[in-house]
Amino acid sequence: MALRTLAHHIDVDWLKEAHRRTRKDGAKGVDGVSADDYARDLDKNLRSLYERAKAGTYRAPPVRRVNIPKSDGRTRPIGIPTFEDKILQRAVAMVLEAVYEQEFLDCSYGFRPGRSTHDALKALREATMSMRGGWILEVDIQRFFDTLDHAHLREALARRIGDGSLIRYIGKWLNAGVMEGLELQHPEAGTPQGGVISPILANIYLHEVLDRWFEREVKPRLKGRAELVRYADDFIIIFKREDDARKVLDVLPKRFGKYGLTLHPVKTKLVRFTHSSSTSDKDDEGGNGGASSFDFLGFTHHWARSGKGYWVVMLKTAKSRFSAAVKRIGDWCRRYRHTPVADQCAVLTRKLRGHYNYFGVVGNATALWRFGKAVYRTWRSWLNRRSQRARVTWARMRKLEAHHPLPTPAVTKLRSLRA
């Protein structure tokens, strides 16, 4: 049943809370106004925003597009709204969240309160362990945020949102346009990746396209167990039986095509995931049989022996993510090699701790140490290029690190993904 009276929740106090929840360190939008600029007269600005939103005179400015390098050499377009637009988007997202958190299913983890990537990884590990392996369907949606169909999104929203004001706000953001350089474009599909409202719109869309469909229509027709784990537009489906997996693999492109989405023909694939003791010679003949691995949320999932000799699913940093992270560190060191060493150390410390925090799971200690050493070598390499006269030898680097040490992985505090 659609709810028709929701916009009245967005008053000045609601906007103040939305402002509090909005990141203040993001890039500037097309108006060049920073979070600090906006905060100089915050009460007046929020009152003005409220009055324009209530009167229907608020105009959604275009987002500024920047292209972020990806690990495969391509770029990911990110849309940066103005700071004021971020506040109103956050306010609307808060209303939508209150409605849809009662609707969303347990298989969805991305951009939801109280849920994280590690929760998704834990759920996936529990499913693969309890099934003792099976068949993994890796799915890649091509350019999801760029191709999300506006008409289908409106239909999905109409199931629960009957408030015309909220629908108009969302419509304004979808049609606001994208500013790239000096060129203004108005895409007919998609929602800017980077917009505050985009994650919950993506969840609403995929809740209709995938989650409800899989749980209510697909699973009852399968012969064996199957589990879906989705984080935003990244998802994995694990099946106990191969015939079930192949049936879903066959129908999935048609289901997504109905909603204007395309699955990558190469990256979407079926992988046999089992440990070697349960793999027969016949399994190995097909090219995708045998003991295998798959990547999800930056980790390679694989089978390994536990300390007690049992087969368990373990996680390690995916090679692509490892290489991309080292490259980003190298690019940063090159760009800021002439800044004071103490300042460089402070930034590298934050970057290392962020990496250790995300990838610090049980069984991944070796990759964490390798990453720390790679960062150390990269830092020394770029410090060495600051001057042709004062070379940074390893001995000098050790003395420098004594005053400016980089953090090492806390292997005793690695996160467990066990049930």
pLDDT band for position 181 (cuts 50, 70, 90): confident
Residue 281 pLDDT level (bands cut at 50, 70, 90): very low
Residues 48 and 187 reside in one and the same domain:
yes
| Span 239-246, average pLDDT | 97
**pLDDT confidence of residue 182:** 84
pLDDT at 307: 85
Cα 317-318-322 angle, rounded to 5 deg:
75
Give start and end residues of each alpha helix (H) in 184-286: 198-206, 212-213, 242-258, 281-284
- Residue with the larger pLDDT of the pair 331 and 282: 331
Phi, psi of 279 (to 5 degrees): -105, 125
Number of domains in the chain: 2
Instruction: Round to whole Å and give the CA distance between 40 and 62.
Output: 23
Query: Which of 183, 204, 225 finishes a domain?
Result: 204
Residue 250: inside a domain: no
Q: pLDDT tens for residues 19-64?
A: 999 999 999 999 999 999 999 999 999 999 999 999 999 999 999 9
**In what helix (H) or strand (E) does residue 227 lie, and over which residues does it extend?**
strand 226-231
| Distance set, CA 103 to CA 144, 159, 220, 303 (Å) | 22, 11, 20, 35
Distance in angstroms (rounded) separating the CA atoms of residues 14 and 188: 31
382 pLDDT higher than 70:
yes
Instruction: Based on the fold, state whether residues 331 and 199 are members of the same structural domain.
Output: no
Say how many Å lie between the first and final Cα of the chain, rounded.
36
- C-alpha 272/C-alpha 131 separation (Å) is 13
**CA max distance for the chain:** 74
Residue where a domain terminates, one of 189, 204, 219: 204
Q: Identify the pLDDT of residue 412.
A: 64
pLDDT band at 289 (very low <50, low <70, confident <90, very high): very low
Token pair 């290029």 is found at: 385
Burial of 49 (0-12, 13-18, 19+ CB in 10 A): buried
Structural domain includes residue 391: yes
Which whole number is the average pLDDT over 220-240? 97
**Tokens 């537009």 identify what position?**
233
| pLDDT, the chain, mean | 91
215 found inside a domain? no
252 in any annotated domain: no
Residue 180 belongs to a domain: yes
Query: What token pair was written down for 403?
Result: 């005053």
Among 158, 173, 204, the domain-final residue is 204
Residue 83: the pLDDT is 98
Q: Residue 149 corresponds to which tokens in the numbers above? A: 């169909």
Q: Which of 119, 95, 99, 98 is nearest to 108 (CA)?
A: 119
- The Cα–Cα gap between 7 and 28 comes to 27
Domain range for 141: 7-204
CB 344 within 8 Å of CB 336 = yes
Residue 135 within any structural domain of the chain: yes
Whether 55 maps to a domain, the answer reads yes
pLDDT value of residue 292: 84
For residues 243 and 240, what is the distance between their CA atoms, to the nearest angstrom? 9
Strands 269-273 and 75-80: unpaired
- Residue 267 in any domain: the answer is no
The DSSP call for residue 276 is G
pLDDT at 284: 38
pTM, two decimals, is: 0.91
Residue 238 near residue 124 (C-beta atoms within 8 A): yes
